[in-house]
Chain A
Amino acid sequence: MSAASRQKVSSWGRLSDAEHDVVAITSAAAAPEILTRTAPGITRGMERSYGDVALNPGGTLWDTRGLNRFLAFDAETGILTCEPGVLLRDIQATFSRQGWMLAVTPGTSVVTVAGAVANDVHGKNHSTRGTFADHVVSITLVRTDGSQIVCGPTENREWFVATCGGLGLTGLIVEVSLRLKRVPGPWLLAENIAYQSLPEFFSISDDSEAEFEHVVSWIDITTDGGRRGILSRANVTPSPHRPLPRDATVLGGVRGGPTFPVVPPFSLVNKATLPALNRAYYRMQHLSLGSSVVHYKPFFYPLDAIQDWNKAYGPRGFFQHQCVLPRPVGVEAVAEMLGHVRASGQGSFLGVLKTMGDREPIGMLSYPRPGVNLTIDFPNLGESTLALLARLDSVVSQAGGRLYLAKDARMPVPLFQAGYPRWQEFMQYKDPGMSSEMSRRLLGS
């Protein structure tokens, strides 16, 4: 049942496809035996992290995707207990019908609950709701020595703080309890606003925080002078009689949307197509300026509509550079980074600019912090891309910011240590039998 099989595994960035010994975790009860027998290794969920946080080339990869059951739900408190492989998509679909949703969700719903904990993901509502970990009430870990640890915001808090954002390195998560948020249904009242410069973005964004729970913006990384983009903001809204979109119906939901059919021989996002893609995206969004009631799927998870969209970047894959910069220097630093990107002619049409709330995260290695967040995808062109990323790193470094580990495949160790000053403290909680390509690269084991 828990035999290993040699499989090629890639993460979302498709930068590598090394062979792994994939071992299915068939039940929480079987986990201690499987871990002690097959360690060292790292746990994988849906492989939506972009780099090497959930890769262990040549070694063991524990697969918890089969553990995808709900265990209990308390309709008074909204506390859901579930297995680690439950998808956020499943939680949203199931509970939005019952008047509950996740309080915090990242930009894709095709991730596991345990993956959301291990990367302490955040969403478009960081200012008001914090990170995923802010809504977790209990985590059960199994260590590679076979022992079990239950931790939460009060119980064994040090383990909780290490595990949230802990990159799956403190033990295998076999059970999670989290608090859902009351909602009137699956609908949001969303508004799109165009902006033409960075100061305009910050002004609209700051104004929006007071009235809107969800705020995010798409930025055109190809324009030179004015930095144009579209800011989207939204609140949940009751709309009980609106028919569900096709992909949110019983059978429509499982059929899924269109799938990106093949890996093209070269990246479809390149110097030639980039300005046109950005212009087209801007025009398209410009058509939908103003307010409308939208289902949560297109608002929270626009890219989930096209399965395997990461294949568009071609056989060499792509990098994502996501950083958060302290607000006082953030405006200038963002402008400087966009200048580097513009000069290089690299990048994609998936630029995201948003402000983060004024709150420190729970996890020792959690990414979110107060400031401004900039996210840009880059097709992997080899040396020229790495050189550009290094220039962006130096801006982040000077600004005193940090890079998001869930997106990283290559940050230098000094930038990691400067961005995550609690890394040494974290090492006390790392399971010696848990090891990933990233942990060896950044933590040394």
Chain B
Amino acid sequence: MSTSGKSGAGSRAGAGGRSGAGARAGASGSRGNSGVWPTDVVVVGATSAIAEQCTRLWLEGGASTALLIGRSEEGLARIAADLGVRFPAAVVTTSVVDLVSASSISATVEGFAGAGSAGAAAGAGLTVLVAHGAMTEQEVSQASLTAAADVLTVTGVSPSLWIEACADTMTAGTIAVLGSVAGDRGRRKNYIYGAAKALIEAMTEGLQHRLVGSPLRVVLVKPGPTATPMTAALPQKGLAPVAAVAGEIVAGVNAGRPVVYAPLKWKLIMAVVRTIPAPLFNKLDF
């Protein structure tokens, strides 16, 4: 694990105009602002488009530090530079980590949330978002067991281990993880990815049960299909803009809602999809 220095130092002189408190006050009244804006955010899989937008919103809403964790040093550096320009007063650090290795997960979480860490000091102000996953298409993962194993590991097992480690280490704050509407019911077009996301759902349910009454909150986020750079070359109909999805996520995570559908309409859609009897469901093509 390597940690780079604080970014955006060059533009700190422009900090005068910004006030986190002012932005918070200005945002009151919008749905979700009953919640708490974090002071410190840690984003695992920080180069994902949804994660990047969420990080922007948290810093805009008043968070003062962001730790970006990911696999690509260059990708993390680009995002840190962008955040440094946007929020010259914020402290943004990056960390390149093997996202699937249990030992590196454990060491990393200990580093940002363990005893004596900045995260521990932030207490309830710490929000961790676990956002990574594999974008492999179903045809690819269905054609090769190795590819399927990768999807299940990167999209399901790894995020589950991250939230488990966070639950073991953190004493207060919020642990949020990106599941997916794809995890609500397996269907032929994306069941391997969906199964990985369903694993995350059972993990969060269990953690919510385990942590009931504790100051530590666990939030499962289920984004619907989202327009991101990765989906730019797909038909855009029905894709929600990534900024709007991130807005729903940030509002829901701040409020500590156990399950956040983003956009909200997917809650209704998936409720219907889940109740279709299997004999009928298996005849449908979607």
Point out residues on A near B: beta carbons under 8 Å: 1-5, 7, 22-24, 26, 63, 65-66, 69-76, 80, 94, 97-100, 185, 243-244, 246, 248-252, 254-256
Cβ of B6 under 8 Å from chain A: no
Among B108-116, B183-191, B198-206, B241-249, the one that faces the other chain is B241-249
Q: Is the CB of A80 within 8 A of B85?
A: yes
The residue of chain B having its C-beta at the shortest distance from the C-beta of A81 within the complex is B85
Nearest 3 interchain pairs by C-beta:
A66-B229, A75-B14, A254-B247
Please report the C-alpha to C-alpha distance between residue A255 and residue B18 in the assembled complex, in whole angstroms: 22
Please report the C-alpha to C-alpha distance between residue A4 and residue B234 in the assembled complex, in whole angstroms: 9
Cβ of B268 under 8 Å from chain A: no
B residues within 8 A CB of A66? 49, 228-229, 232
Please report the C-alpha to C-alpha distance between residue A4 and residue B11 in the assembled complex, in whole angstroms: 38
Residues B2-37 near A (CB distance < 8 A): 10-18, 23-27, 29-33
Nearest-neighbour CB distance to chain B for A256, whole angstroms, equals 6
Residues B148-173 near A (CB distance < 8 A): none
Select A72's contact among B81, B232, B235, B251, beta carbons within 8 Å. B81
Q: Is the CB of B233 within 8 A of A72?
A: no
Select A250's contact among B12, B57, B241, beta carbons within 8 Å. B57
Given contacts A5-B233, A69-B78, A255-B244, contact A246 B29 (CB under 8 A): yes
Instruction: Select the residue from B11, B17, B60 with max chain A CB neighbours within 10 A.
Output: B17
Cβ of B124 under 8 Å from chain A: no
Cβ of B179 under 8 Å from chain A: no
The residue of chain A having its C-beta at the shortest distance from the C-beta of B11 within the complex is A73
Please report the C-alpha to C-alpha distance between residue A66 and residue B230 in the assembled complex, in whole angstroms: 8
Q: Is the CB of B244 within 8 A of A72?
A: no
Given contacts A99-B14, A249-B30, A251-B33, contact A71 B82 (CB under 8 A): yes
Q: Is the CB of A252 within 8 A of B27?
A: yes
Q: Is the CB of A99 within 8 A of B85?
A: no
Q: Is the CB of A70 within 8 A of B244?
A: no
The residue of chain A having its C-beta at the shortest distance from the C-beta of B18 within the complex is A97
Nearest-neighbour CB distance to chain A for B48, whole angstroms, equals 12
Nearest-neighbour CB distance to chain A for B24, whole angstroms, equals 8
Q: Is the CB of B246 within 8 A of A71?
A: no
A residues within 8 A CB of B99? none
Nearest-neighbour CB distance to chain B for A42, whole angstroms, equals 16
Nearest-neighbour CB distance to chain B for A308, whole angstroms, equals 12
Q: Is the CB of B233 within 8 A of A23?
A: yes
